[in-house]
Amino acid sequence: MIKIAIIGAAGRMGRRIAALAIESEKFDVVAATEYAGSEDVGKDVGELAGLGKFGLAVADNLDALDADDWPDVAIDFSMPEGTMRWLPILKQKGIPVVIGTTGLTESQQAELADTAASLPIVFAGNYSLGINLLCKLVARAAATLGEDYDVEISETHHRFKQDAPSGTAIMLAKSVCEATGRDYGQSVTHGRGGRQPRKPGEIGMHAIRLGDTVGEHSVSFGSLGETITLSHAAHTRDTFARGALRAAAWLVGKRPNQYDMADVLGL
């Protein structure tokens, strides 16, 4: 069995990753962590995941692990500050990591890339098979339609999501940019207000926070005669949790590098 550590184990994604891993016959959850001072430190990870007592308490470090229980891989769906706290520790211990944390700054992403020179890392804005396929379809559509078609991206998530736009929306916008030779920083406009006529080559980005929405994304291409919309809706977080576990299994034994879900899925 593949031994895994779950960083951010008490979060929405962490609980689903823990639940699916515990229920599987492929993974053994040997560590679960939260930030120091969290009210969930000391709680049983199985109970947090809704499965009943598992016998593993959430900790704020890895110090209590025996050598025989050292994880083969870690999965991190925490917060940017949590990811950056754990990254040097995982590097020192030589533990590959799957990172699903969104909202990392450019400097934090640069630090992650530097770490990947000596540690295998999968870093993706979304771990859904459907979303990663959508990125490929969006790139093909953008390259085929060209700049005569306006591009608008919208994303909707639950009211508790802290970063905007979502990491997935950024993935989609970058797919358009890479396919059409645009610069992401110069092309993307976040929302609109007042008198703002559309600029040639502009990519509109719109973030909606609504109730308990798991995740919805759409990319629309529009000319003066037609509109084409490619979209994806996630019905449950298990979609992302299964993808993260698939990435974790794939990452074990890989050489140091920064990978993404396209690598994991062979896309």
Catalytic residue list:
157, 161
Tokens of 2: 């593949």
**Local confidence band at 66 (pLDDT 50, 70, 90 cut-offs):** confident
DSSP string, 28-80: EEEEEE--TT-TTTTSBHHHHTTS---S-B-BSSSTT--GGG--SEEEE-S-H
Q: Are 94 and 121 in contact (CB under 8 A)?
A: no
- pLDDT tens digits for 140-166? 999 999 989 999 999 999 999 989 999
Distance CA 110, CA 107 (A): 5
**Local confidence band at 267 (pLDDT 50, 70, 90 cut-offs):** confident
Residue where the block lists tokens 């308490």: 57
Residue 112, Ramachandran bin (φ over 0: left; ψ between -120 and 50: alpha; else beta):
alpha
Question: CA–CA distance from 154 to each of 80, 104, 173, 264 (Å)?
Answer: 23, 20, 10, 26
- pLDDT tens digits for 69-98? 789 999 999 999 999 999 999 999 999 999
**If you average pLDDT over every residue of the chain, what do you get?**
94
Cis peptide before 80 (omega within 30 of 0): no
> CATH homologous superfamily of domain 2-123+238-265?
NAD(P)-binding Rossmann-like Domain (3.40.50.720)
The model carries a pTM of 0.82
- Pinpoint the alpha helices (H) of the chain: 12-23, 45-48, 80-93, 106-115, 129-145, 167-180, 184-187, 238-251, 261-265
Strand, coil or helix: 24 = coil
Taking the CA atoms of 178, 184, 190 and 193 in sequence, report the sign of the dihedral they define. Answer: negative
Number of residues written out for the chain? 267
Tokens of 68: 């025989």
Distance CA 163, CA 118 (A): 29
Domain ranges, ordered by start, for the chain: 2-123+238-265, 129-234
pLDDT exceeds 90 at position 65: no
pLDDT at 255: 98
- pLDDT tens digits for 2-39? 999 999 999 999 999 999 999 998 999 999 999 999 99
Could you tell me how far CA 102 lies from the centroid of its own chain?
Answer: 6
- pLDDT tens digits for 116-135? 999 999 999 889 999 999 99
In degrees rounded to 5, what are phi and psi of residue 239? -55, -45
Fold assignment, 129-234: Dihydrodipicolinate Reductase; domain 2 (3.30.360)
pLDDT at 140: 97
Tokens of 151: 């591009």
Percent of the chain with pLDDT over 70: 100
Tokens of 18: 């823990």
pLDDT at 165: 95
For residue 15, which of 55, 44, 42, 39 has the smallest C-alpha distance?
44
- Section 221-237 average pLDDT: 96
